[in-house]
Chain A
């Protein structure tokens, strides 16, 4: 496997690969989102209890799932970057952070829009909401730490350390918040269980979840390629690309 991966440690090859990935995943994500959103927002049956407002689920759930997924992949990339001292992975951590923050913000925003008609309030200090909010601050911390250094390389490494520490902490925060919540109030919020959802609603949801993942990959590759060009701006191959 390493023999196969080896050439991509070269920034030039990695740039081409990430652009190829972006070209492949971007149309996939756009098509998937169009199909999933139209199916979910127009054709899927209305929820018998929540009527049409439950349709926000088709945006809320994929964003919430990948807000956590992105953090995990960021932490793993940061760990590998620190252990094997791979500069390209450091850049990928920074490429992922704002996208994850955006997903988290979308999940929180749509969640509070959904919460207003359903729970009668924009915000409750429920376990899931709280841990999502803290996740947003963790993303912001990673990016703010990077921004506070003059030297980009040091900043990127510091951001990797923080991403790894955050990855250790995310489960602790998640479970402690869950415990806190059950201590103070009983389970009052219905959870979305996979088997308990009708197939006619599950399919558009699954399509959207997959296409948001594709969107994440495409965005990350695009940001990665751009950051790479900036980091290597004095190199010959970059000048050739920019000169074209």
Chain B
């Protein structure tokens, strides 16, 4: 089997599994919406305040629902032995991991980015600003998926690791949050915002290059 056909098949498999287990795929999205709803309720229905907070809320909701989704990234394949079989099959390990990252991003991150449209009615965000937020969220969710792949691979065999995920993921996400915040800030003042978004894209490409290697190492370590 050639590498590209393996890549496509593995992604197809993840989609089929997600189609069977719909609840797992829906839960992070529901969580995302719930976090967004929390803010108007706690802050109060004041429109100007909410629209200032909107982009930050979108990012926080994305990270929190990623923390819900990420522990499942490798857990099932690890437990039922599929991962070990594939690792023995001679396909490069980082390719296996990369296909999982891509399918995870398509299945879990992309719906969240679409759902962030709810910020427009709920937090009275401008549609123009939302389109900038979507750009940062698209790139940022690639980064989150990559770093989260490493974290969830490290924790895949540990029973007590639930709370540790946040501690591993959030400090590493700080740079992307800063650049996303800078882009949103610039867009709010109608200044050019291409520079921070380009840096964000560079960070995403960098992590997409490094993360599969580190993730494969971490998975191999857990297989013993």
Contacts and interface: CB of A to CB of B under 8 A. Distances in A.
> Main secondary structure on chain A at its contact with chain B?
helix
A177 B175 CA distance: 7
A180 B185 CA distance: 11
Interface stretch (A24-32, A60-68, A133-141): A133-141
Interface in B160-194: 160-161, 163-164, 167-168, 170-172, 174-175, 178-179, 181-182, 185
B171 A176 contact: no
Contacts of A150: 158-159
B150 interface: yes
Interface in A115-153: 130, 134, 137-138, 140-141, 144-145, 147-150
B202 to A, nearest CB: 10
Contact of B182 (A138, A140, A161, A180): A180
B155 interface: yes
A179 interface: yes
Nearest to A179: B178
Interface stretch (B2-10, B47-55, B214-222): B214-222
Contacts of B181: 180
Contact of B171 (A141, A149, A161): A141
A172 interface: yes
A177 B150 CA distance: 23
Contact of B150 (A134, A165, A183): A165
A162 interface: yes
Contacts of B170: 137
A87 to B, nearest CB: 14
Contacts, number: 79
A82 interface: yes
B203 interface: yes
A27 to B, nearest CB: 37
Interface string B105-145: 00000000000000000000000000000000000000000
Name the residue among A82, A145, A164 with the largest chain B CB count within 10 angstroms: A145
A179 B167 CA distance: 24
A144 B167 contact: yes
B154 interface: yes
B73 interface: no
B214 A140 contact: no
Contacts of A9: none
Interface in B18-35: none
A168 B185 CA distance: 27
A15 to B, nearest CB: 26
Interface string A156-180: 0110011011101100110011011
A141 B155 CA distance: 12
A16 interface: no
A158 B175 contact: no
B172 A169 contact: yes
B157 interface: yes
B221 A154 contact: yes
A162 B169 CA distance: 11
A161 B218 contact: yes
A217 B203 CA distance: 35
B208 to A, nearest CB: 14
Contact of A176 (B163, B168, B174, B210): B174
27 contacts: A130-B174, A137-B167, A140-B167, A141-B164, A141-B171, A144-B164, A145-B154, A145-B155, A145-B168, A149-B158, A150-B159, A154-B224, A155-B158, A161-B150, A161-B154, A161-B217, A165-B150, A165-B214, A168-B210, A169-B172, A172-B203, A173-B171, A173-B174, A176-B174, A176-B175, A176-B179, A183-B182
In the A-B complex, the 6 residue pairs with the smallest Cβ-Cβ separation, listed nearest first, are: A176-B175, A148-B161, A180-B178, A137-B171, A148-B158, A141-B167
Given A154-B157, A161-B214, A165-B150, 4 more contacts: A137-B167, A141-B164, A158-B221, A169-B171
